[in-house]
Protein backbone atom coordinates (compact mmCIF):
# COMPACT_ATOMS: atom_id res chain seq x y z
CA UNK A 1 0.00 0.00 0.00
CA UNK A 2 1.12 3.54 -0.73
CA UNK A 3 -0.17 6.91 0.41
CA UNK A 4 -0.42 8.76 -2.90
CA UNK A 5 -2.37 11.48 -4.65
CA UNK A 6 -4.54 11.20 -7.74
CA UNK A 7 -1.78 12.16 -10.21
CA UNK A 8 0.58 9.55 -8.74
CA UNK A 9 -2.16 6.93 -8.78
CA UNK A 10 -2.93 7.48 -12.45
CA UNK A 11 0.74 7.65 -13.43
CA UNK A 12 1.62 4.40 -11.68
CA UNK A 13 -1.45 2.67 -13.09
CA UNK A 14 -0.67 3.64 -16.68
CA UNK A 15 2.97 2.65 -16.17
CA UNK A 16 2.07 -0.80 -14.84
CA UNK A 17 -0.51 -1.39 -17.55
CA UNK A 18 2.00 -0.43 -20.27
CA UNK A 19 4.58 -2.76 -18.74
CA UNK A 20 2.25 -5.73 -19.00
CA UNK A 21 0.53 -4.95 -22.32
CA UNK A 22 2.57 -3.82 -25.33
CA UNK A 23 -0.63 -2.90 -27.16
CA UNK A 24 -1.08 0.21 -25.02
CA UNK A 25 -0.15 3.46 -26.71
CA UNK A 26 -0.32 6.78 -24.85
CA UNK A 27 -0.91 9.82 -27.02
CA UNK A 28 -1.77 13.48 -26.67
CA UNK A 29 -0.41 17.00 -26.51
CA UNK A 30 2.80 17.19 -24.41
CA UNK A 31 2.28 13.74 -22.88
CA UNK A 32 5.82 12.64 -23.72
CA UNK A 33 8.77 14.88 -22.98
CA UNK A 34 6.80 17.15 -20.63
CA UNK A 35 4.78 14.35 -19.01
CA UNK A 36 1.52 16.19 -19.60
CA UNK A 37 0.38 19.53 -18.22
CA UNK A 38 -0.46 17.93 -14.88
CA UNK A 39 2.39 15.38 -15.10
CA UNK A 40 0.11 12.34 -15.23
CA UNK A 41 2.27 10.76 -17.95
CA UNK A 42 5.58 11.83 -16.42
CA UNK A 43 8.61 9.62 -17.28
CA UNK A 44 6.62 7.25 -19.50
CA UNK A 45 8.48 8.42 -22.63
CA UNK A 46 11.82 7.52 -21.03
CA UNK A 47 10.58 4.02 -20.19
CA UNK A 48 8.61 3.11 -23.30
CA UNK A 49 9.93 5.25 -26.13
CA UNK A 50 8.33 7.53 -28.67
CA UNK A 51 6.52 4.75 -30.53
CA UNK A 52 4.33 4.08 -27.49
CA UNK A 53 4.26 7.55 -25.92
CA UNK A 54 3.40 9.94 -28.72
CA UNK A 55 3.51 13.72 -28.51
CA UNK A 56 0.85 14.79 -30.99
CA UNK A 57 0.18 18.09 -32.75
CA UNK A 58 -2.30 20.49 -31.16
CA UNK A 59 -5.17 18.81 -32.96
CA UNK A 60 -7.79 17.00 -30.88
CA UNK A 61 -9.65 15.80 -33.95
CA UNK A 62 -6.48 14.08 -35.14
CA UNK A 63 -5.69 12.64 -31.70
CA UNK A 64 -9.05 10.90 -31.45
CA UNK A 65 -9.10 9.97 -35.13
CA UNK A 66 -5.71 8.27 -34.91
CA UNK A 67 -6.59 6.61 -31.61
CA UNK A 68 -9.82 5.28 -33.10
CA UNK A 69 -8.00 3.63 -35.99
CA UNK A 70 -5.41 2.14 -33.66
CA UNK A 71 -8.11 0.74 -31.39
CA UNK A 72 -10.10 -0.77 -34.28
CA UNK A 73 -7.02 -2.65 -35.47
CA UNK A 74 -5.88 -4.19 -32.21
CA UNK A 75 -4.08 -1.59 -30.12
CA UNK A 76 -5.26 -0.22 -26.76
CA UNK A 77 -4.78 3.55 -26.95
CA UNK A 78 -4.99 5.82 -23.92
CA UNK A 79 -5.53 9.25 -25.44
CA UNK A 80 -5.21 12.41 -23.38
CA UNK A 81 -7.12 15.59 -24.15
CA UNK A 82 -5.14 18.25 -22.30
CA UNK A 83 -8.24 19.97 -20.90
CA UNK A 84 -11.80 18.75 -21.32
CA UNK A 85 -12.60 22.16 -22.79
CA UNK A 86 -10.40 21.24 -25.77
CA UNK A 87 -12.34 18.09 -26.59
CA UNK A 88 -14.98 19.78 -28.74
CA UNK A 89 -12.99 19.78 -32.00
CA UNK A 90 -12.99 15.98 -31.61
CA UNK A 91 -16.68 15.80 -30.75
CA UNK A 92 -17.67 14.57 -34.20
CA UNK A 93 -15.16 11.71 -34.01
CA UNK A 94 -16.29 10.73 -30.50
CA UNK A 95 -20.04 10.92 -31.07
CA UNK A 96 -20.32 9.70 -34.67
CA UNK A 97 -17.43 7.24 -34.91
CA UNK A 98 -16.02 6.16 -31.54
CA UNK A 99 -19.38 5.69 -29.84
CA UNK A 100 -21.13 4.06 -32.80
CA UNK A 101 -18.51 1.81 -34.39
CA UNK A 102 -19.69 -1.39 -32.70
CA UNK A 103 -23.30 -0.68 -33.71
CA UNK A 104 -22.64 0.44 -37.28
CA UNK A 105 -20.43 -2.59 -38.04
CA UNK A 106 -22.65 -5.15 -36.33
CA UNK A 107 -19.88 -5.94 -33.86
CA UNK A 108 -17.17 -6.52 -36.48
CA UNK A 109 -15.19 -3.59 -35.10
CA UNK A 110 -15.01 -2.18 -31.61
CA UNK A 111 -13.08 0.78 -30.21
CA UNK A 112 -11.31 -0.18 -26.96
CA UNK A 113 -10.17 3.39 -26.37
CA UNK A 114 -9.73 5.29 -23.11
CA UNK A 115 -9.98 9.07 -23.48
CA UNK A 116 -8.53 10.73 -20.38
CA UNK A 117 -9.18 14.39 -19.74
CA UNK A 118 -9.04 16.75 -16.74
CA UNK A 119 -12.26 18.69 -16.19
CA UNK A 120 -13.87 21.24 -13.90
CA UNK A 121 -12.82 24.37 -12.08
CA UNK A 122 -10.96 25.27 -8.95
CA UNK A 123 -7.53 26.04 -10.44
CA UNK A 124 -8.12 29.58 -11.76
CA UNK A 125 -8.22 28.36 -15.35
CA UNK A 126 -10.91 30.71 -16.61
CA UNK A 127 -13.69 29.88 -19.00
CA UNK A 128 -11.64 27.75 -21.43
CA UNK A 129 -9.94 25.54 -18.84
CA UNK A 130 -12.68 24.95 -16.26
CA UNK A 131 -15.78 23.52 -17.94
CA UNK A 132 -17.65 20.42 -16.84
CA UNK A 133 -19.10 18.84 -19.97
CA UNK A 134 -19.99 15.38 -18.73
CA UNK A 135 -23.62 15.64 -19.87
CA UNK A 136 -22.58 15.79 -23.53
CA UNK A 137 -21.08 12.33 -23.24
CA UNK A 138 -23.65 10.84 -20.87
CA UNK A 139 -26.19 11.65 -23.59
CA UNK A 140 -24.24 9.59 -26.16
CA UNK A 141 -25.12 5.91 -26.45
CA UNK A 142 -22.07 3.71 -26.93
CA UNK A 143 -19.83 5.53 -24.46
CA UNK A 144 -18.97 4.75 -20.86
CA UNK A 145 -18.36 7.82 -18.68
CA UNK A 146 -16.51 7.59 -15.37
CA UNK A 147 -15.11 10.16 -12.95
CA UNK A 148 -13.10 9.19 -9.87
CA UNK A 149 -13.07 11.36 -6.76
CA UNK A 150 -10.00 9.89 -5.05
CA UNK A 151 -6.71 8.08 -5.84
CA UNK A 152 -8.05 4.62 -4.96
CA UNK A 153 -11.00 4.83 -7.33
CA UNK A 154 -8.85 6.46 -10.01
CA UNK A 155 -6.59 3.40 -10.10
CA UNK A 156 -9.37 0.85 -10.03
CA UNK A 157 -11.56 2.61 -12.57
CA UNK A 158 -8.66 3.15 -14.98
CA UNK A 159 -7.82 -0.55 -14.90
CA UNK A 160 -11.49 -1.41 -15.53
CA UNK A 161 -11.63 1.13 -18.37
CA UNK A 162 -8.53 -0.40 -19.98
CA UNK A 163 -10.10 -3.87 -19.83
CA UNK A 164 -13.28 -2.80 -21.59
CA UNK A 165 -13.63 -3.53 -25.28
CA UNK A 166 -15.53 -0.30 -25.87
CA UNK A 167 -14.72 3.41 -25.47
CA UNK A 168 -14.50 5.12 -22.08
CA UNK A 169 -14.49 8.83 -21.34
CA UNK A 170 -12.34 9.11 -18.21
CA UNK A 171 -12.99 12.47 -16.55
CA UNK A 172 -10.38 13.53 -14.01
CA UNK A 173 -11.31 16.35 -11.59
CA UNK A 174 -8.20 18.50 -11.88
CA UNK A 175 -8.90 20.32 -8.63
CA UNK A 176 -8.35 17.03 -6.78
CA UNK A 177 -5.15 15.99 -8.59
CA UNK A 178 -2.95 16.88 -5.63
CA UNK A 179 -5.54 17.89 -3.05
CA UNK A 180 -5.97 14.53 -1.34
CA UNK A 181 -3.94 11.40 -0.63
CA UNK A 182 -5.33 7.96 0.17
CA UNK A 183 -4.00 4.45 0.68
CA UNK A 184 -3.80 2.68 -2.67
CA UNK A 185 -2.66 -0.93 -3.20
CA UNK A 186 0.59 -1.26 -5.13
CA UNK A 187 -0.83 -4.01 -7.32
CA UNK A 188 -3.36 -3.35 -10.06
CA UNK A 189 -7.02 -3.90 -9.18
CA UNK A 190 -10.43 -3.08 -10.59
CA UNK A 191 -13.27 -0.88 -9.38
CA UNK A 192 -16.50 -2.03 -10.98
CA UNK A 193 -17.79 0.33 -13.64
CA UNK A 194 -21.45 1.18 -13.10
CA UNK A 195 -21.40 0.77 -9.33
CA UNK A 196 -21.67 3.74 -6.98
CA UNK A 197 -19.91 4.00 -3.61
CA UNK A 198 -21.77 4.66 -0.37
CA UNK A 199 -19.34 6.96 1.43
CA UNK A 200 -21.45 7.61 4.50
CA UNK A 201 -24.54 5.98 5.96
CA UNK A 202 -27.33 8.22 7.22
CA UNK A 203 -31.07 8.42 7.77
CA UNK A 204 -32.15 12.05 7.43
CA UNK A 205 -31.12 13.12 3.93
CA UNK A 206 -29.46 11.60 0.87
CA UNK A 207 -26.73 13.56 -0.91
CA UNK A 208 -25.83 12.23 -4.35
CA UNK A 209 -22.68 13.58 -5.96
CA UNK A 210 -19.54 12.68 -7.92
CA UNK A 211 -16.08 13.82 -8.96
CA UNK A 212 -14.72 17.08 -7.59
CA UNK A 213 -17.72 17.73 -5.35
CA UNK A 214 -17.24 14.62 -3.20
CA UNK A 215 -14.73 16.15 -0.73
CA UNK A 216 -16.79 19.34 -0.52
CA UNK A 217 -19.92 17.38 0.34
CA UNK A 218 -18.14 15.22 2.90
CA UNK A 219 -16.60 18.26 4.58
CA UNK A 220 -19.99 19.96 4.75
CA UNK A 221 -21.84 17.09 6.41
CA UNK A 222 -19.01 16.19 8.78
CA UNK A 223 -18.43 19.75 9.96
CA UNK A 224 -22.13 20.32 10.54
CA UNK A 225 -22.96 16.94 12.05
CA UNK A 226 -25.60 16.09 9.46
CA UNK A 227 -27.04 12.58 9.56
CA UNK A 228 -26.68 12.34 5.80
CA UNK A 229 -26.21 9.39 3.50
CA UNK A 230 -23.61 10.33 0.88
CA UNK A 231 -23.34 8.51 -2.45
CA UNK A 232 -20.47 8.94 -4.92
CA UNK A 233 -21.74 7.83 -8.33
CA UNK A 234 -18.23 7.20 -9.74
CA UNK A 235 -19.78 6.13 -13.06
CA UNK A 236 -22.13 8.49 -14.88
CA UNK A 237 -22.88 6.14 -17.79
CA UNK A 238 -24.05 3.55 -16.98
CA UNK A 239 -25.45 5.07 -13.81
CA UNK A 240 -26.06 2.98 -10.69
CA UNK A 241 -29.83 3.45 -10.69
CA UNK A 242 -30.44 0.93 -7.92
CA UNK A 243 -28.11 2.81 -5.54
CA UNK A 244 -29.88 6.09 -6.33
CA UNK A 245 -33.36 4.70 -5.76
CA UNK A 246 -32.31 2.82 -2.64
CA UNK A 247 -30.95 5.90 -0.89
CA UNK A 248 -33.88 8.08 -2.00
CA UNK A 249 -36.38 5.60 -0.56
CA UNK A 250 -34.38 5.26 2.64
CA UNK A 251 -34.33 8.94 3.63
CA UNK A 252 -37.12 10.48 1.56
CA UNK A 253 -35.05 13.65 1.14
CA UNK A 254 -32.54 14.13 -1.68
CA UNK A 255 -29.91 16.77 -2.48
CA UNK A 256 -27.87 16.40 -5.68
CA UNK A 257 -24.54 18.20 -6.01
CA UNK A 258 -22.38 18.75 -9.10
CA UNK A 259 -20.35 21.65 -10.46
CA UNK A 260 -21.63 21.47 -14.04
CA UNK A 261 -24.43 23.87 -15.05
CA UNK A 262 -27.89 23.05 -13.74
CA UNK A 263 -29.93 22.84 -16.95
CA UNK A 264 -29.83 19.29 -18.36
CA UNK A 265 -27.01 18.39 -15.99
CA UNK A 266 -26.57 14.91 -14.53
CA UNK A 267 -28.68 16.08 -11.58
CA UNK A 268 -31.69 16.46 -13.88
CA UNK A 269 -31.46 12.78 -14.89
CA UNK A 270 -31.09 11.69 -11.27
CA UNK A 271 -34.12 13.77 -10.32
CA UNK A 272 -36.17 12.21 -13.12
CA UNK A 273 -35.17 8.69 -12.11
CA UNK A 274 -36.24 9.32 -8.52
CA UNK A 275 -39.50 10.94 -9.64
CA UNK A 276 -40.31 7.95 -11.85
CA UNK A 277 -39.38 5.22 -9.38
CA UNK A 278 -39.51 6.57 -5.84
CA UNK A 279 -41.81 9.59 -5.76
CA UNK A 280 -44.09 7.98 -3.17
CA UNK A 281 -41.14 7.80 -0.77
CA UNK A 282 -40.23 11.48 -1.00
CA UNK A 283 -40.86 13.73 2.01
CA UNK A 284 -39.56 16.91 0.37
CA UNK A 285 -38.79 18.24 -3.13
CA UNK A 286 -35.48 17.17 -4.68
CA UNK A 287 -32.96 20.02 -4.55
CA UNK A 288 -30.00 20.47 -6.90
CA UNK A 289 -26.84 22.38 -5.94
CA UNK A 290 -24.86 23.06 -9.11
CA UNK A 291 -22.84 25.48 -11.14
CA UNK A 292 -24.74 28.25 -12.86
CA UNK A 293 -26.04 28.41 -16.43
CA UNK A 294 -23.32 30.86 -17.43
CA UNK A 295 -19.83 30.65 -18.90
CA UNK A 296 -17.35 29.68 -16.22
CA UNK A 297 -16.05 32.92 -14.66
CA UNK A 298 -12.42 33.65 -13.90
CA UNK A 299 -12.67 36.37 -11.28
CA UNK A 300 -15.69 34.88 -9.50
CA UNK A 301 -14.75 31.21 -9.58
CA UNK A 302 -15.48 30.76 -5.86
CA UNK A 303 -19.03 32.05 -6.38
CA UNK A 304 -19.71 29.72 -9.30
CA UNK A 305 -18.59 26.50 -7.67
CA UNK A 306 -20.89 24.85 -5.11
CA UNK A 307 -19.45 25.24 -1.63
CA UNK A 308 -20.25 24.01 1.86
CA UNK A 309 -22.54 26.97 2.53
CA UNK A 310 -24.71 26.31 -0.53
CA UNK A 311 -24.80 22.58 0.19
CA UNK A 312 -25.89 23.13 3.80
CA UNK A 313 -28.53 25.61 2.70
CA UNK A 314 -30.02 22.92 0.44
CA UNK A 315 -29.79 20.27 3.17
CA UNK A 316 -31.51 22.50 5.70
CA UNK A 317 -34.20 23.35 3.16
CA UNK A 318 -35.20 19.74 2.57
CA UNK A 319 -34.92 18.87 6.30
CA UNK A 320 -37.26 21.73 7.20
CA UNK A 321 -39.83 21.01 4.51
Reference 255, options 309, 217, 223, 303; nearest CA is 217
Reference 166, options 239, 109, 82; nearest CA is 109
> Is residue 129 annotated as part of the catalytic site, yes or no?
yes
| R_g (Cα) of the chain, nearest Å | 19
**Among 129, 139, 258, 300, the one annotated catalytic:** 129
The alpha carbon of residue 46 and the mean position of all alpha carbons in its chain are separated, in whole angstroms, by 28
The interaxial angle of helices 213-223 and 308-320, nearest 10 deg, is 60
Check if the beta carbon of residue 254 is closer than 8 Å to that of residue 231. no
From its phi and psi, is residue 36 left (phi > 0), alpha (psi between -120 and 50) or beta? left
Non-local (6+) Cβ contacts of 268 within 8 A are 262, 288
CA dihedral 33, 39, 45, 51 (to 10 degrees): -90
> Which of the residues are catalytic?
129
Amino acid sequence: MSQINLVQSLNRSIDQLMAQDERIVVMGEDVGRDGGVFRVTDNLLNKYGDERVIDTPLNELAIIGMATGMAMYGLKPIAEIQFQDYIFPAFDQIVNNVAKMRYRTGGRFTVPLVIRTPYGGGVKGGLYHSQSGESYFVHTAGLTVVTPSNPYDARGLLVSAYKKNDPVIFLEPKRLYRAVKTEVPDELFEVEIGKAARLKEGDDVSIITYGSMVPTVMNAVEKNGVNAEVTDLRTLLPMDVSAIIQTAKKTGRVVIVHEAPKTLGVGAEISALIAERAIDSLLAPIVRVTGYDTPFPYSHEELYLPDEKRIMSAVNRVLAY
